[in-house]
A and B are shown apart, each in its own frame.
Chain A
Amino acid sequence: MTSQVPVTVLTGFLGAGKTTLLNRILTEQHGKKYAVIVNEFGETGIDNDLVVNADEEVFEMNNGCICCTVRGDLIRILGGLMKRADRFDAILVETTGLADPAPVAQTFFVDAEVAEKTRLDAIVTIVDAHHLGTQLEESHEAAEQLAFADLVLLNKIDLVDTESLSRVEARIRAMNPYARIIPAERCGAPLDTVLGQNAFDLQRVLEIEPHFLEDDHAHEHDDAVTSISLHADTALDPEKFQAWFGRLLQENGQDILRSKGILDIEGEPDRYVIQGVHMLMEGDFIGPWPDGEARRSRLVFIGRGLDGMGLAEGFAACKAT
């Protein structure tokens, strides 16, 4: 068996600095070989043997699941790259500034061959610290890209003062409490803080403590995308939880962009870790609860219109009695 090649998805608005980062990755001496999949009509204009053009064609699976919109071109290109004799250490997928990142992420969940040979490493969103405010007001794609991010490369911080910078950070944090924010000038962050993040590994969900526990966040009602953190100190009934969570994703999967959680399931010694993109969810029991630590379930949702979904009540009703 060959190991899975990690794939980093790079999103961000036009001019945020995607090309700068890609050029660094392709030209810096790091001893690794990256293939870069760029969008056909993109702004990158990078000429390199390792660059493949994609057309960002999405299609809906014919199974009636509205959230199963995936990138067929990505399935084709990743399949082709896997056949090459000179295999790659990692692959980067650049999306246009106006692209919805969901179909890219969903491709890794939905296609069995893609899932077998590659793994989604992280969704990296590059943000222009100076222009984020305007972009969030002008288009919903900017919010969507932030909501999906595992890592936000907050670029061009040299163009804003300290006060604006903390305002921008707070705004990102309110929409996405678990993304790591890396401030940078001219995309100058060390590459190993951006690539090889393993963010979709369920193990990593366990490490997202810092902002995870912050109760109920400061809602910013002007942003359509918000987040909600829930917790419970009583063990959960597995059947009740499955039923509630399944129904929730089925009914609101369109609006729940991402979800992550560490759960205490009644009668199980191990932690149950879940994470999802829209209605696609994966979960597994990963390791026992640490000695001396309270068995506390935590669940985070990022999405639109979360307030109307009765999340807190639904989750509370899953407690084992």
Chain B
Amino acid sequence: MQSDLSPARRPREGFRPTQLEAKGRRVDTGAHVTAAVALGETVVTAHGDGALRFFTGDSPPRTVAAHRGAVLAMAATGGEAVVTGGDDGRFLRVSVDGTVEDLAGFAGAWVDCVASHKATGLLACSVGRAVHVWRQGATSPEMFGHPSTVGGLAFDPSGKRLAVAHYGGATIWERGGRRWKSTKLVWAGSHIGVTWSTNGKYVVTVMQENALHGWRLRDKANMQMAGYPAKPRALDWAGDAPHLVTSGADEAICWPFDLKEGPMGRSPLCVAGGGKQLATMVRALPGHPSVLAGFQDGAVLMSELDEFAEARVLRGSTGVEVTAIAVTDSLSHVLIGDANGTVLWAPLRTGGENAWPV
């Protein structure tokens, strides 16, 4: 909001459709795609009508009615399954075979965030200010309280620690034997998402004020990663010399975590630009130093993590915001979901002529 006496104008341009789109399957579900995760060669989408949809190979997707309202969060978990949280107050485990298991119910509340750690079998979900954590095989959860509503949840790579984002910073819960102990990471403002660096040494949160905030856990040193025109809601880690890839600008913003000091005092790498639209979703290409970025106008670009790399258009502009992207483990297929519930499921590994250079 500003008091400028001259109205702002923003030009609109778009990318034309690609071969990859033409070869893919388009499914109109009519319900906002709220998340997508890969389980090996299957990609699961979660929707605003409470359904999950499973896409595998050439067969049509299978629909599983899971929640009664919108699916608010989803994470992959062991045993070819996902865990989901919904605005019906339920925390579910849904398997590839379609089995729906009720893990917990919170009447009259929303299950906003979920997290899973495959190796340890730990599961977590947040309901308001509380986080509920299940150890593998446990029937009842442990409950952690926080000063305000939880905005994000993430287990560290070892599964020993859980990061919880909320107002005023984040809380790190660390498991030692039978007990969990908490440490506070303080930074004013509202923190609405959280992730761990792949080496477990940094915690980074998404902030309400169009910025990321990071902490080096060793000494709780603060890292401010600001300058975004919008909230960098989507995060992923890409490459072996890992970069934290984020949405929230008109290209994918990739913060280097390859050196000892992390991104401190360094500039991010900016790739997959050129569309003059805000990136709304980003995903690393599994096993490769490449990223996929989805934009507000529906376009999806792919680029290597190299500032001189030429981005390619995987999917042209549709006019509808990209809300989910996932790629199967073998890179056989890419899935792109949008705010209107349209899903594109397309073969990815069929040669470079599928995609346009930007």
Contact = CB atoms under 8 A, between A and B. Distances in A.
Contacts, number: 102
Nearest to A72: B190
Interface string A216-229: 00000000000000
Given A55-B149, A84-B48, A76 B112 contact: yes
B212 interface: no
Interface string A274-311: 10000011111100000000000000000000000000
B239 to A, nearest CB: 29
B341 interface: yes
A281 B187 CA distance: 28
Contact of A245 (B3, B70, B72): B3
Given A83-B72, A85-B49, A280 B30 contact: no
B3 A72 contact: no
Interface in B5-21: 5, 7
Nearest to A238: B5
A283 B112 contact: no
A57 interface: yes
Given A72-B148, A111-B208, A59 B167 contact: yes
Contacts of B209: 61-63
Contacts of A110: 1
A73 B48 contact: no
Interface in A36-94: 52-53, 55, 57, 59-63, 70, 72-73, 75-77, 80, 82-86
Interface string B178-218: 00000000011110100000000000000111000000000
B341 A85 contact: yes
Given A84-B69, A85-B30, A85-B32, A72 B167 contact: yes
Contact of B1 (A55, A62, A281): A281
Interface string A236-259: 001000100110000000000000
A70 B50 CA distance: 29
A272 interface: yes
Contacts of B341: 85
A282 B48 contact: no
Nearest to A108: B1
Given A72-B149, A112-B230, A281-B3, A85 B208 contact: no
A109 B188 contact: no
Contacts of B230: 112
What interface size band does chain B fall in? 35 or more
B315 interface: no
A209 interface: no
Interface string A249-273: 0000000000000000100000010
A4 B31 CA distance: 17
A158 interface: no
A75 B70 contact: no
Given A57-B149, A59-B189, A62-B209, A83 B34 contact: yes
A233 interface: no
Contacts of A57: 148-149, 167
A284 B32 CA distance: 33
B78 interface: no
Q: How large is the interface on A (under 10, 10 to 19, 20 to 34, 35 or more residues)?
A: 35 or more
A95 to B, nearest CB: 17
A137 interface: no
Nearest to B6: A285
A113 interface: yes
Contact of A283 (B5, B47, B69, B70): B5
B149 A62 contact: no
Contact of A76 (B5, B32, B109, B151): B151
B108 A84 contact: no
B128 interface: yes
Contacts of B319: 1
B3 A246 contact: yes
Name the residue among A53, A80, A112, A274 with the largest chain B CB count within 10 angstroms: A80
A72 B1 contact: no
Given A62-B187, A76-B112, A115-B1, 16 more contacts: A1-B319, A55-B129, A57-B167, A61-B209, A62-B188, A62-B207, A72-B208, A75-B190, A76-B149, A83-B34, A84-B49, A85-B31, A85-B341, A274-B3, A281-B2, A284-B7
Interface of B: 1-5, 7, 30-32, 34, 47-50, 69-70, 72, 87, 108-110, 112, 128-129, 148-149, 151, 167-168, 187-190, 192, 207-209, 230-231, 319, 339, 341
16 contacts: A2-B339, A57-B149, A59-B189, A59-B208, A62-B207, A77-B110, A80-B112, A83-B72, A84-B32, A85-B49, A115-B1, A242-B5, A245-B3, A281-B3, A282-B1, A283-B5
